[in-house]
Structure 1
């Protein structure tokens, strides 16, 4: 907006200068035309006086010629009247093409016409390009814009002002009318993910991406299936069985290698997240972690929020979807009335059990106070442990997450500290 106003001011200045220049050119042209008209009138008068003198001279010559002829006729006495008439006609009508005053004036008129037509064309062009404002008005506009741009007062953002007006109108609409049109409070975002929020989350994702990439270093352990533990006897181990060696199968290598990781982010959107605007930090953390995981070729991320409308949880992004596709679903932050943390975590465990990832991890983003849930945190932890699924917590402005040991979660008081806490989470808890 500021750049637009500055551009408008500069254009007003340019328009002012252009208008002044056009006015000066028009004035100069009018002066030139006045001088030309004066010169033309003088030339016309001069030509008329010249023609008059020439006519008088010709008349005198003709009179003298007639007198001379009559004198000759009287002396000779041999000429007929008809011959005298012919002589008079010959003297009155010249045989040659003597130039007259009329011919000279016509030539001068033809010479003047082209310049007049050019002047008319220039005049019509100026009329077409003529501004609706005078140079003085352009100057006033430029001064007003200068004063506005130089002011220290902060004017209210147009979008914020419009949003307030819309909120005021919406507050006057009754619940019955809203219900009639199918409107729900769940349709209203708690945090609008505009360009600023998106870019902030994207910047955070760049800072935590390298730490999350460490999670792709998978140690193959805790195998429970027969084909994972080996189906071929190992001769060297078999001969040691009398000494108590029980693992006699040739197993896969247990060295670390890069494998595919399934990550589920479970975010609390209960009403308590509205305290201290925790939901804002939670949404931004959720977005940043999702973007960072998505940028890694062997990491796959899914997102769950809880509670959701009439259910205990909602999967807002599957492993196959991108963050961009599901961006509008990240806007909810504190709509729920209770906190069914156990049920949401159990849904994440089941989601990972149905997948074929080499490593399976759950991040819980919450303010730490669960209630009213079909499953307890302890029950979920036990099932996850038995199936090789790791669960860690990201506490938003809290020093305690009920059901979690102190060494299984980190605290994020502000999203600017997210990269530091994620580094702790990866290198001290999950490694």
Structure 2
């Protein structure tokens, strides 16, 4: 009988723990996401320093407006593995495909106009994006290529780069930004058609926001944060143990009372 207070205290603790709803997160399950691999290929050539692209803040550079809109797009890609390629006179991978979207956005804002040279090497941008995608494991892969100019540099031809992309089954969504005639619209359409993607034109920042909204709907990202498929509720275990102990305690007390009588 002297042990009963300690047992009751233990049962009370178990019930309290159960009410707290402890959760176990499976790290392996968390990494097995259902999104796709995306690479954002951004033109950082000299013309991206031009202002007037934003409909409200005319003094902002075109590149800064692009970065802000891209960041908003990244925030919506809950389950995607996203990489970043910057191209100008040459292309380079600024960030490998990653689920760490916070770090990706920090790297995004470290880039700047002219960081890859003043010219425009679209072929190298595509080629580098494909190389970056090869490190991803998702079944669906796509490149979102944004440029405001014409191919005028680089050692990789657009034709060769597109052929490699087609062999790997990767889509390319092309976005031409700026006034009509400032970029090679015909070339961008050819790239997207051959790879199963689409071409979009954005004269100003409002157009570009709409474009990214369309791409977001065309390449939807599953929402993991509300599905909670990678968690296991543990409240049932302390609850069951507490119930067993409580029933056992009651039965033991009844048995003792019967023996005394």
When normalised by structure 1's length, the TM-score is 0.35
- 1:114-153 alignment, distance < 5 Å: none
Distance 2:121 2:80 in 1: 27
Residue of structure 2 equivalent to 1:369:
150
What per-residue deviation string (whole Å, max 9, x for no partner) do you get for residues 119-172 of structure 1?
xxxxxxxxxxxxxxxxxxxxxxxxxxxxxxxxxxxxxxxxxxxxxxxxxxxxxx
Change (3 A) 1:384 1:376: same
What per-residue deviation string (whole Å, max 9, x for no partner) do you get for residues 210-246 of structure 1?
xxxxxxxxxxxxxxxxxxxxxxxxxxxxxxxxxxxxx
User: Is 1:306 aligned to 2:87, yes or no?
Assistant: yes
Residue of structure 2 equivalent to 1:417:
207
Change (3 A) 1:324 1:389: closer
Contact 1:294 1:301 in 2 (8 A): no
1:333 CA drift (Å): 2.2
Change (3 A) 1:288 1:323: farther
Pick the aligned partner of 1:297 from 75, 78, 88. 78
The higher-RCO structure (CA 8 Å, 6+ apart) is: 2
| RMSD, matched Cα | 2.9
Contact 1:302 1:318 in 2 (8 A): yes
Distance 1:270 1:405 in 2: 21
1:313 CA drift (Å): 2.3
Bigger share in helix: 1
Residue of structure 2 equivalent to 1:219:
none
- 1:384-423 alignment, distance < 5 Å: 384-399=165-180, 400-401=184-185, 403-405=187-189, 408-423=198-213
State the number of aligned residues.
169
User: Is 1:333 aligned to 2:113, yes or no?
Assistant: yes
Residue of structure 2 equivalent to 1:260:
35
Question: What secondary structure does 2:129 align onto?
Answer: helix
Distance 2:52 2:156 in 1: 28
1:409 CA drift (Å): 1.4
What per-residue deviation string (whole Å, max 9, x for no partner) do you get for residues 283-310 of structure 1?
33344334433443311211111237xx
Pick the aligned partner of 1:271 from 43, 46, 69. 46
Contact 1:306 1:339 in 2 (8 A): yes
Change (3 A) 1:302 1:370: same
1:393 CA drift (Å): 1.0
Change (3 A) 1:337 1:260: same
Change (3 A) 1:420 1:294: closer
Question: What secondary structure does 2:110 align onto?
Answer: helix
Change (3 A) 1:377 1:286: farther
Contact 1:270 1:339 in 2 (8 A): yes
1:274 CA drift (Å): 3.2
1:384 CA drift (Å): 0.8
1:369 CA drift (Å): 0.6
Distance 1:305 1:357 in 2: 22
- Segments of structure 2 that go 5 or more residues without pairing to the other structure are 1-32, 54-59, 221-261
When normalised by structure 2's length, the TM-score is 0.55
